[in-house]
Amino acid sequence: MPLFLAKILNNRILASIAIGTFITFIISAAFLFGFFRMTNLKLTDSQYTLNDPSQDIVIIAIDEKSTQPQPQGLGRYSQWSRENHIKLLSVLQKEQAKAITFDILFNKPTETIPLETISVFKNGLSANLSQEDKLKAYDDFLNSNSSSLRNPVDQAFADKLNEFKNIVLIFLANPDDAANSILPLKKFSKNAALGNYFAKLDEDGILRKVQPIFKDGTTDFAVQSAMKYLGVTDVEKLNLPTEDSQMNVNFFAPPFGYKMISFVDVLNGKFAQDAFKNKIVLIGVTSFKENEDRVLTPRDNATPMPGIEFRANEIQTIIEGKFLTNQSTGATIFTIAIISIGLAIALNYLGILLSILVTFASILLYIFTSHVFYKNGLLVNMLYPFVAIIFTYLTSWIYKYFIADRKKRELKSAFGHYVNEELVDQISKNPDMVKLGGEKKIVTVFFSDIKDSTAHSEKTPIELWISQVNEYFTVMGNVLKKSGGTLDKYEGDAIMGFWNAPISQQDHILRAYACAIGMRKALVNLHAKWAQEGKALIEFRIGINTGEALVGNFGSADQFNFTVMGDTVNTASRLESAANKAYGTKMIVAGFENANVNFTIRELDTVYLPGKKEPVKLFELICLASEATPEIQNLVKTYNQGLAAYRCKDFATAITSFTAIQTTLPSFKTDNPTQILLSRCQKLQAGEKIAELDEQMIFRIQNK
């Protein structure tokens, strides 16, 4: 390897810069050549989530309700008379809508005589006319109404439209095929503004952009609508940001998220007061049964949105000025470079777990930042920066594994056979830790032991018993490690562990208690498995104590172990063995502070443990607080009342409480601590002496 290259690789910062620069070059090339453009479009769509639809935009929907058969609806839309639109305009005229937009192509004259016109004619005929006069009247009626150019309904509609100066009608003209434009009838558009309805989908079939101004000088339909609403006559005054003549549409609601009122309800007056006053009213078909005017959008690219609602989003983009621009090419490459180089420097100084966390945090931070930029009108690239993050992580991992951390890995290999995994990691970072010595520290110590293990082992072939115990140790050891505990040792059929060393853990008590409950739950699964296999159902007891202990490496210069020593450890051991046996419990804890916020814990008694001169308060760890049933809560409450009375030597009250547990709580009829305290109270009330109980009601446990 050339000397200059070796110097770069052995210097983490220089190596990180080199790695980041290389990744920037590769990913920028992919970006410039347009690789995975469709994927980027899909990912960018995830940013459209932070807006709400405007209350100043109302859609009068030609929906399924409006197109039901009469009298519930107005009949099939294709058979509607323009009388319906005349009536609608009369309502909107009265309601003082600020701008009215028809998403309907009025490009053909009415070719049939409306039923209403025929009814008026028939009702107007005199009953005294002869048959010949009636036939002549019918001929005159047909001659005056059959011509599409003289259709009275069309003329009435045109006259009504011409009463307004705030109406926008659509036409359809493909910029690449202007000769085939579809325009509304001239008599309809005398006073109305015209807007082109043409819009082009992206390659993936999603509509994200529109062309505000076309090559022939015509204006987009929604732009015209916004101009009417804002009172603007020159489109240039809107200052619409475009890229390649296209404007990104912002999205404010998922499909059918805007306020919609059924067309038929408007005609029948079924709408709230001032529902249309000073608002922009869009009229269009929303029923997909009536036409195919629907599009997929970034807000929901699986559920179609009615075309009229897409235009509502476009209009709101303009009138609220919430425009979107795409991140420039230069800015995208700069972002890739910053991410690649900066993240490479950070990852090359972190361990694998922190590297993963930082990598995921970088992804989450970029997603969060993208939404911040989106809210401020910028659509950032949502693919290549993520690719840069992943590539940087992988490349940094390869660099650390094969170059930077090779010596550290050799040190881990040397010590990993006889110290726990967390300590190995600490040693690899600070080799001075292997020196003999220790420090005083508050720790939580855990002991567990298999109940009646000798009896089980005598009944089971030795190979099967060892296999079952090893399976038990594996499962329980994993639970302990997952809780962040240090697995000190397996000794016989016992497990010892502790928390808050070598890594400090502010919640070490909660971790230990959660570990104990997790082991009890894991045992249920093991019991189910062992029952199917015909094996003995192992039970175990747990003791947990929190207090000061000596923590560190103990042993000789050649062989040592990272462990904890002191009275706290001895107490934990006696809690597991002596205390659990004395009170018939499975999990006893001591020395905790405020753990009962997260766990249901019952105070059992105050005792002298074997070989101890200072009394200890015993607590039974029952379950997570969130899992405590009303019966468990009543048990703890009633037991506490009995215990308080017992300590005050009010044995009658105590007996009442303990008896209530047995008679009113079926699940705890044979609760061991209750039976033990009840028996004591009964003896004491009868005047009997209990040798193990002193005047302060502290019980001395004799067995170990």
Q: Domain 438-593's class? A: alpha beta
Buried b (16+ CB within 10 A) or exposed e, 273-309: eebbeebbbbbbbbbeebeebbbbbbbbbeebbbbbb
Report the amino acid identity of residue 428. Answer: S
- Percent helix, percent strand, percent coil in the chain, to nearest 5: 50, 20, 30
Nearest to 306 by CA among 320, 316, 318, 292: 292
CB atoms within 10 A of CB 544: 30
**The token pair that represents 238 in the structure block:** 């809107």
Q: Is 618 helix (H, G, I), strand (E, B) or coil?
A: strand
Q: Which helix (H) or strand (E) holds 59?
A: strand 57-62
Contacts 24+ apart (CB under 8 A), 625-632: 625/596, 625/597, 625/598, 625/599, 625/600, 627/600, 628/600, 631/665, 631/666, 631/667, 631/668, 632/600
Q: How far apart are CA 678 and CA 134, in angstroms?
A: 111
Whether 252 contacts 53, CB under 8 Å: yes
State residue 431 phi and psi, 5-degree precision. Answer: -60, -20
Q: How many Å from the N-terminal Cα to the C-terminal Cα in the chain?
A: 66
Q: Please check whether residue 490 is in contact with residue 480, taking contact to mean a CB–CB distance below 8 angstroms.
A: no
Element (H, E) at 541: strand 540-555
| Contact (Cβ atoms closer than 8 angstroms) between residue 446 and residue 496 | yes
Domain residue spans in the chain? 16-45+327-404, 57-110+163-321, 112-150, 438-593
Burial grade of 67 (CB within 10 A; 0-12, 13-18, 19 or more): buried
CB 421 within 8 A of CB 497: no
Residues 6+ apart with CB under 8 A from 662: 668, 669, 670, 671, 674, 675, 678
Contact criterion met (CB below 8 Å) for 66 and 270: no
DSSP three-state, residue 88: helix
Q: Report the amino acid identity of residue 3.
A: L
* pLDDT score at 415: 44
Question: Are the CB atoms for 318 and 226 separated by under 8 Å?
Answer: yes
Amino acid sitting at position 486: T
Whole-angstrom Cα distance, residue 388 to residue 401?
A: 20
- What local confidence, expressed as pLDDT, does residue 43 receive? 87
Cα–Cα distance list, 111 to 147, 172, 475, 505, 641 (Å)? 8, 22, 82, 84, 91
DSSP bridge partners of 248? 209, 324
Q: Which helix (H) or strand (E) holds 421?
A: helix 421-429
Question: Which residues are bridge partners to 550 per DSSP?
Answer: 440, 565
In sequence order, which residues have a C-beta less than 8 Å from that of residue 165 and are 6 or more positions away?
A: 191
Of 287, 285, 265, the closest CA to residue 72 belongs to: 265
- Provide the residue type at 642 as one letter: G
CA atoms 384, 385, 388, 393: torsion sign: negative
Splitting the chain (704 residues) into consecutive groups of 10 residues, what average pLDDT does each group show?
52 76 90 87 84 94 93 90 94 95 90 63 68 66 59 88 94 80 90 92 92 89 94 91 93 93 95 94 91 88 92 95 92 92 85 86 91 90 91 83 61 46 62 62 95 87 92 93 88 91 88 96 96 93 96 69 89 95 96 78 95 93 95 96 96 96 94 96 94 94 80
User: Please, are residues 230 and 320 in contact by the beta-carbon 8 Å criterion?
Assistant: no
Using DSSP's 3-state secondary structure scheme, residue 58 falls into strand
**Of the candidates 596, 508, 493, 492, the residue with the CA atom closest to the CA atom of residue 551:** 508
